[in-house]
Amino acid sequence: MSLNPLTQLISERGFDRFQSGLRSRFAAYHLKYTLTYCKPSDNPAMCLDFESLLHLGRVTVWESGACEMDILEISTGNNVFYESHHFNNEKQFHQTYLRLVIFMRDMLRLKSDNI
């Protein structure tokens, strides 16, 4: 048994089972979405990349439970969102990474409301 809390999610590709639902949800938010499993290492990782008309977002999470989430504003290249976390289980990951998605979604809504 691995000491890494997110082994099933990443190395065993447990996150794959959520893909069809996530793709349709993120498309409804006008976000392009890509899942990438990084090359095997001592601490395997996966990246969730998001793109909107305004922002590029990335969630990188490692089997150890470490996670970094950041968003760049396309027009300026400025980082407008950054969070670092350490998860002890998958539930914590699933509850937290959506903050990045919600930020990107809400910024699009604000932009469209101001047009």
pLDDT digits (tens, 9 = 90+) for 52-98: 999 999 999 999 999 999 999 999 999 999 999 999 999 999 999 99
How far, in Å, CA of 109 to CA of 29, rounded? 9
Report CA-CA distances (Å) from 71 to 36, 67, 84.
17, 14, 12
Q: Nearest Cα to 22, choosing from 33, 11, 13, 14? A: 33
- Range 42-47 average pLDDT: 96
Query: What pLDDT is recorded for position 2?
Result: 58
Q: Nearest Cα to 13, choosing from 36, 34, 43? A: 36
Report CA-CA distances (Å) from 11 to 15, 63, 115.
10, 8, 44
Supply the DSSP symbol for 4.
-
Q: Check the CA dihedral 12-104-49-80 and report its sign.
A: negative
- Sheet order of strands, 32-37 included: 32-37, 45-51, 55-62, 66-73, 79-86
Give the predicted TM-score (pTM) of the model.
0.92
Query: What pLDDT is recorded for position 113?
Result: 79
pLDDT above 90 coverage of the chain, percent: 90
